[in-house]
Amino acid sequence: MKFNTKVIHGGQEHDPAYGAVMPPIYQTSTYAQTTPGGHKGYEYSRTHNPTRNALENALASIENGNYGLAFGSGLAAIDAIMKLLKPGDEVISTNDLYGGSFRLFTKIYEGFGIKFHFIGMDQASNIEAYVTNKTKLIWVETPTNPMMNIIDIKAVSEISKKHNVLLAVDNTFATPYLQKPLDLGADIVMHSATKYLGGHSDVVMGALIVEDKNLADRLYFIQNASGAICGPQDSFLVLRGIKTLHIRMQRHCENGKAIAEFLVNHPKIENVYWPGFENHPNHSIAKSQMKDFGGMISFTTKDNNYDAAIKIVERLKVFTLAESLGGIESLSGHPASMTHASIPKEEREKVGVVDSLIRLSVGIEDVEDLIADLNQAIG
C-alpha cells in the first residue's frame, strides 16, 4: 500500500459488530467476562481499548512500523521511552530541541541518575566522541524546534547501530508524510500527535512506533504499568485527523514555501530558517531524507529586539498567537517567552533562540491572506 492509501486504510478494519466504517468510540473502562478470563481480548481500558488499538494500528502503518502505542501526551510518550533506562545510563541528545523534552530530561530524569549530553548533531560524526559503554539512547529531533536544523537520521543510525544504542526520533515536525525515521534506521519514532497527526488543535496526545517485537513488548509493559494512556474519544479524533494528513501536509508545504520566500525578500527581515532554501546548511540532507520542507518557519527581524518581536506577533490577525503547531490554522509564537521559556537564556541563545526570533506554524488557509497579514504586522 502506498502512503496516501495507508493514511486512510492502513492497519484498519471495519467494526466487526455492525460494520461501522469508522471505529466506534468505545467509551468504556471495562469489559464483561463470561467466566474469569473469559473475554474477547479486552479486560480493562488502561491495558487495551478497541478505539485506541485502531489508532495504534494506523500509527504503525503510516510510519512503516509494526507496533504503535498511544499516550496521553507527547511528553507522556517520551516519558515511557525514558523508563527503558536505569540510573547510570547516558543519553546523547540534540541541543536544539523542544523545551518540554529538555525540561523532562534535565528536571526529572537527571534527578533519577541519568546523564544527558546535549550536543549539536548537524554533523552526525560529533556524536562519536560522547558514546561510552553507558550510552543507551540517542535522542534526535529533526527538523529541530525552532531553528529548523536538519539531522541526518541515516548517518546517526549507523553510529547507533555500531555501538548498539537505541535511536529515538521525534518526528512531530516532519510527520511520516515527509520522513520515515524507521526506514532510515531509527528504533523508535515519537510523535506529539497534538500537532500534525491530530491536525485540528483539538486534542493532546502522544505516540510511539517501533518495528522490533521485544522493544514493543517493553514499551507496552511501561504503557500499561505507568498508565499514561489516552482516552477513546481522543483516539477517535486523531484517527480521523490522520485520514487527511497527506492533503493537509501538501498544503502546509506549499504555503510554507510561499511564506519563506516572502520573508526572505522582505527588507526588514534578517534571517529566515526554513530547510527548503538552497543555502540552508543542511539543505541537501533535508532534500534526501524529506519529501518536502514542511510548514514550520522561524525568522528574526533586522532591528533585532524583544519588544519589536512582541509587537509583530501582537499585530498578526490571521495568524493566532498561541503555543503549539501543526493545526489547520496558522499560528505564531515567540519561542524565547513561550515554548522555550523553560530553557535558560544562555542555553537558548547558544542555539539561536534569540529574543527577536518568531516561529510560524503555517496553516492551510489561502496563502495570499497569510502573506498580507505578515506584511501588515511586520510593517
Ligand X SMILES: *Cc1c(COP(=O)(O)O)cnc(C)c1O
Long-range contacts of 117-123 (CB under 8 A, 24+ apart): 117/90, 117/91, 117/92, 117/93, 118/93, 118/94, 119/92, 119/93, 119/94, 119/95, 120/94, 120/95, 120/96, 120/351, 121/94, 121/95, 121/149, 121/151, 121/156, 122/149, 122/150, 122/151, 122/281, 122/282
# chain residues binding ligand X, by CB under 6 A: 16
Grid cell in block for residue 74: 507527547
Question: Which lies closer to ligand X via its Cβ, residue 104 or residue 131?
Answer: 104
CB 140 within 8 A of CB 169: yes
Tell me which stretch binds ligand X (CB under 6 A): 54-62, 187-195, 214-222, 344-352.
187-195
Question: Which lies closer to ligand X via its Cβ, residue 11 or residue 198?
Answer: 198
DSSP 140: E
Smallest distance from ligand X to CB 318, Å: 22
Q: State yes or no: residue 172 binds ligand X (CB under 6 A).
A: yes
Smallest distance from ligand X to CB 137, Å: 16
Q: State yes or no: residue 105 binds ligand X (CB under 6 A).
A: no
User: Quick check: is 46 catalytic?
Assistant: yes
Paired with 305 in beta bridges are none
Residue choice 50, 206, 276, 363 for contact with ligand X (CB under 6 A): 206
Q: State yes or no: residue 73 binds ligand X (CB under 6 A).
A: yes
Q: State yes or no: residue 98 binds ligand X (CB under 6 A).
A: yes
d(CA 128, CA 115): 16
Q: State yes or no: residue 74 binds ligand X (CB under 6 A).
A: yes
Residue type, 255: N
Tell me which stretch binds ligand X (CB under 6 A): 79-87, 188-196, 240-248, 267-275.
188-196
Q: State yes or no: residue 195 binds ligand X (CB under 6 A).
A: yes
Tell me which stretch binds ligand X (CB under 6 A): 61-69, 93-101, 148-156, 330-338.
93-101
Residue choice 54, 60, 62, 75 for contact with ligand X (CB under 6 A): 75
What would the DSSP string read from start to end of 256-285? HHHHHHHHHT-TTEEEEE-TTSTTSTTHHH
User: Quick check: is 98 catalytic?
Assistant: yes
Grid cell in block for residue 285: 540532507
How many Cβ atoms from other residues are within 10 Å of residue 323's Cβ?
8
d(CA 345, CA 139): 22
Question: Which lies closer to ligand X via its Cβ, residue 101 or residue 179?
Answer: 101
Q: State yes or no: residue 145 binds ligand X (CB under 6 A).
A: yes
Question: Where along the sequence are the contacts to ligand X (CB under 6 A)?
Answer: 73-75, 98, 100-101, 141, 145, 170, 172-173, 192, 194-195, 204, 206
Question: Which residues belong to the active site?
Answer: 46, 98, 170, 195
